[in-house]
Structure 1
């Protein structure tokens, strides 16, 4: 192997390590729901190349309102799936869509785009 091949190989290994770290080990933005006077837990989520925040913590047995603002026109993000709550909604571009649910049991529940590429988690305590 000559010097150029060594640099290309090391660069490829470095990029692969970065991708693995980013998707599996990097810290995710977490938000705890804010409760209103009526006991409703509310969280605002921006959809733009992913969900921000990506991890949401709520309390079991209290109503939850998730406000998804889709700040893009990417076709991947036009649908939201919360399969554990039997929720499937269209998310219009540059609009806020309100999702209401009542978590009855503790656990971690995944939400995704229609293609399954964008992912988030709802943690019920």
Structure 2
């Protein structure tokens, strides 16, 4: 990570690794999701808190931007809300 942009890779394989992503407030950020599992509900990642809902193709990187203007904890989850992770901005 640099002071100009934060990029964190999240591996999707039966869950999210890392399950908690720490980001610095005010520095542009992206989450790069890579789905390694064919498990059904993990083919989508969504976050009402962060404003994204995207399909995750198997073994491909899908990047979403994260607004880091406000500090706080924001959740993301699979399409069925069974598996979740968290973004912490501080």
TM-score band, normalised by shorter chain: over 0.9
Residue pairs, 1:1-125, within 5 angstroms: 34-35=1-2, 39-125=4-90
Classify the secondary structure of the residue corresponding to 2:80. Answer: coil
- Paired residues in the alignment total 90
TM-score, normalised on structure 1?
0.68
1:105: Cα distance to partner?
A: 0.7
Instruction: Measure, in 1, the Cα distance between the counterparts of 2:85 and 2:66.
Output: 16
1:103: Cα distance to partner?
A: 1.6
After the TM superposition, list the runs of 4 or more consecutive aligned residues in structure 1 that deviate by more than 2 angstroms: none
Classify the secondary structure of the residue corresponding to 1:121. Answer: strand
1:66: Cα distance to partner?
A: 0.8
1:101: Cα distance to partner?
A: 2.1
Q: Deviations over 1:45-67 (max 9, x none)?
A: 10000000000100111111111
- Mark the structure with the bigger radius of gyration: 1
Instruction: Measure, in 1, the Cα distance between the counterparts of 2:32 and 2:2.
Output: 14
Q: Which has the higher contact order (CA 8 A, sep 6+)?
A: 2
